[in-house]
Structure 1
């Protein structure tokens, strides 16, 4: 199993290098990515079907190089796929892989000349950077992407990208305990969400933007918890209706962040209840390494709470925070 994982990571790295422009001598002519391929892969991610997506990506990444050689449209699709590959690697605890995919996504997005794609790639790259202690580098990359966006007309897609950059910057700063920048970026994202609401309809799973007032509230939970203010985090959690979040992945994220905030206040039972919501929203989220670690911590504190399902411990109690 270990050898298979190493080989899998190596194949992914080779595909990423190829997309960035380093064509190996043995590479032949490959099929190109279709828009529907990228959209289908994105749906797998937002529905929390991570195992299925990883299998699919092993095929799609092999075609990304051909797409990147096929003009601006193909470059853009390759960048989107690399962002997705990085996000999936983070979910599965493969931070080294996530960094490789994200770095290549940034290079590819720059080649596309599309600031919105660069924003998505910068957000993907910020996660492995902040998880390895390089907060300053992550914030610089996010700021660079935001600068490129400000030179474009404020369309719905531009506002969406700018707001999500701000949310990512807020969480990045919060994890480094930089309170003032974290709160500044969170407020900036909320202002941008208001602009987007005035310009366009509310987001759904079918619309291309992620930014919304509920999304900002979700990030506030994580930001304030990281800053050491779990009570404020839980105030935002009570304001959030998870039904307003458009995807299973986001609903699972809300429950996870709320569970961590509850645990920080000593409410272990409430945290267990939130993990049940993770399982209900996206079962494969419960198998993520970080969720398993959280479950183990809860179990250590309350061993009387029995295991109910793989990766989830505790009774299906009513949630303390909705």
Structure 2
């Protein structure tokens, strides 16, 4: 008899860690994306029987452990297509993927028969996936009120209160859509900019949870941003769309989009310069995921030069573009390039405690944890993960960090407190 369905994710996660496979490597063996494997391991996606058979083969375990007594036949269906052949096809292929993402959003969050209620209820994007199909009814509100509400939502994100944000975003999106629809002229453009920010927040939250809703939200963010007539919302929306592209393995089109949008922004103006810097940083990391070291480091250096000229900027589209932020990205880039040892010196000069928000500090500790993990230093990795938890308890429950915790748990080294940490953060079911 196979494992109970609610235990399937833990079985796959443990076997993958024992086999020293990444989520991307396991996904490649059965036609799934790395984000889909993350959803499988968190019991939010039930693979096809044929995919389970391929997973078992890749993991080197008996098929019965995943499939029960039935031996499936047929081929697995890939969740993500190959690299886009050209930038010209970008819009068409993105629309196709959005259609698929909408369909996936309706079916990927499995019911009580395939996942524990505790796991599903903790997903901050659960309400968003439904809301993006049909927003709740809402009336237009004064633009000043809408701006205040959106600013508050952004502060919630920066504080890493993701469950609270996921609950509030459907109503905010509905009010913003209604307000833009009712407005005319300049007021309509301003409402579109606020709507773009709301969809950017939605895409950022969905990306953290490896949710397919990120595609839909990012596309809508860019549509709203372009109708606002302002370059700053366009830059921010382009950034979250590129992140979604990169997470699906399309790093080259992501770099092209980011550098093209960065070239459109005036580096001599404070607001556009800050957004331009974040686009360059995201492009650097995207290039690194594709193994393009020269492009990644050149983009990082360009972004670092920009930060020397940037004052602090305030407003709805406030963007953090500082030397510390560049250092965090540099660590991430070096991790992605397979040279984490080069990041140790960068980490030694980085004072994470001085970074501005819990979300930013948690992200910095996350990249530091990944660096130490790649270097095989389990105690330092665990220390960094505990700092993530201290800064933002909901951040450490993200699928990617639960997977990292699982890798430590099933590795050869034993660290005091790791098992309790894994249970507390959802990496190990009780």
Give the alignment's TM-score, normalised by structure 1: 0.85
Output aligned runs, 1:21-60, within 5 Å: 29-31=139-141, 34-60=146-172
Between the aligned partners of 2:387 and 2:426, the Cα distance in structure 1 is 10
- Larger Rg: 1 or 2? 2
Question: Which of 172, 176, 182 lines up with 2:290 in the alignment?
Answer: 176
Secondary structure of the residue that 2:132 maps to in structure 1?
A: helix
Kindly indicate whether residue 245 of structure 2 is the aligned counterpart of residue 135 of structure 1.
no
Asked if structure 2 preserves the Cα contact closer than 8 Å seen for 1:258 and 1:274, the reply is yes
Matches within 5 A, 1:277-316: 277-301=387-411, 302-306=413-417, 307-309=419-421, 310-311=424-425
In the aligned structure 2, how far is the partner of 1:245 from the partner of 1:284?
A: 18
- In 1, the alpha carbon distance for the partners of 2:137 and 2:165 equals 24
Aligned residues: 296
1:146-157 superposed matches below 5 A: 146-150=262-266, 154-157=268-271
Residues 98-139 of structure 1 deviation map (CA, whole Å, 9 limit, x = unaligned): 011001111111111111111100111111100111112212
Q: 1:122 to 1:205 in 2, by over 3 A?
A: closer
Q: Which residue of 2 aligns with 1:212?
A: 322
DSSP-derived class of the 1:211 partner = coil
Structure 1 segments, 4+ long, off by >6 Å, are 4-7, 203-207
Tell me the TM-score normalized by structure 2: 0.65
Equivalent position of 1:88 in the other structure: 205
Correspondence for 2:8: none
Structure 2 unaligned runs (5+)? 1-108, 112-119
Are 2:233 and 2:317, in contact at CA under 8 Å, matched by a contact in 1? no
- Partners of 2:309 and 2:294 in 1: CA distance: 23
Farther-moved stretch of structure 1 (63-72 vs 53-62): 63-72
Deviations 1:197-239 (A, max 9, x none): xxx24x6899923100111011101001111111111211111
Name the residue aligned to 2:341: 231
Q: Say which structure is richer in helix.
A: 1
Change over 3 Å in CA distance of 1:272–1:304 after alignment to 2: closer
Shift in alpha-carbon separation, 1:54–1:207, aligned structure 2, 3 A: closer
Q: Deviations over 1:124-163 (max 9, x none)?
A: 111110011111221222123213213xx72211110111
1:66 CA drift (Å): 1.6
Moved more, 237-246 or 135-144: 135-144
SS of equivalent to 2:387: helix
CA gap of 1:215–1:88, structure 2 versus 1, over 3 A, is same
Aligned to 1:73: 190
